[in-house]
Amino acid sequence: MKKLISILTFSLLLIVLFGVLYPVMIWGIAQFAPNQGKGETIEVKGKTVGYKNLGQNFDQPNYFWGRPSAVDYKTDGSAGSNKGPTNPDYLKQEQERLDHFLKAHPYLKEGDVPSEMITASGSGLDPDITPQGALIQVKRIAKARNIAEDKLIQLVKSKINQPKLMGIPTVNVLELNVALDQLK
């Protein structure tokens, strides 16, 4: 009986600690974060068009494309494919993505396509691509929108985010496409 009481006491302590105190503490810390920890939204004319930190599916020829998603951009199940680099299904999927990308960009060769344009990120929801990933799409978008390539190159360069401490420069695809829609 003594053991049962100590087990129940310990269980109750853990429930209070991790079921009440820890969530309240995290919520309290989030209140000091931008947008109270609810994520940074991007708005156009007062209407939310998406979240800055979540990838979205852009597949029209007149928009910049982001990284493919292993979860079809569904935010309720963030995940990678969990398939290894020698898995036949994985290799087939990557080849299909590469073929699709090259078909939309006939001016490119296979070696010109950055890996992030055909491989899904670990979360499946990566909102960013490299500047190179954006710049190789300029010709396609310029043709689709009848805009000078130089203007689009300048737009991409203006949207490059430099790393704070470590990492590589990135371009947020949603922010870039919002700015693209605002070009005159």
**Domain co-membership, 84 together with 139:** yes
**Domain co-membership, 55 together with 27:** no
**Domain co-membership, 32 together with 94:** no
pLDDT (tens digit per residue) in 167-176 = 999 999 999 9
**Domain co-membership, 58 together with 84:** yes
**Domain co-membership, 22 together with 70:** no
Question: What is residue 56's predicted lDDT score, i.e. its pLDDT?
Answer: 84
**Domain co-membership, 136 together with 56:** yes
Question: What is residue 171's predicted lDDT score, i.e. its pLDDT?
Answer: 96
**Domain co-membership, 27 together with 44:** no
pLDDT (tens digit per residue) in 117-128 = 998 877 777 889
**Domain co-membership, 80 together with 12:** no
- Dihedral sign for Cα 77, 123, 131, 50, please: positive
Pairwise CA distance, residues 7 & 104, whole Å: 63
Count the domains in the chain: 2
Question: What is residue 122's predicted lDDT score, i.e. its pLDDT?
Answer: 75
**Domain co-membership, 60 together with 102:** yes
Count CB neighbours of 140 within 10 A.
21
**Domain co-membership, 153 together with 79:** yes
Structural domain harbouring 111: 39-182
**Domain co-membership, 50 together with 120:** yes
DSSP symbols for the chain: -HHHHHHHHHHHHHHHIIIIIHHHHHHHHHTTSGGGGT--EEEETTEEEEETTS-----STTS------TTTT-GGG-------TT-HHHHHHHHHHHHHHHHH-TT--GGGS-GGGTS--SSS---EE-HHHHHTTHHHHHHHHT--HHHHHHHHHHTEEPPSSSS--EEEHHHHHHHHHH--
> pLDDT confidence of 79, banded at 50, 70, 90?
low
**Domain co-membership, 48 together with 16:** no
> pLDDT confidence of 77, banded at 50, 70, 90?
low
> pLDDT confidence of 23, banded at 50, 70, 90?
very high
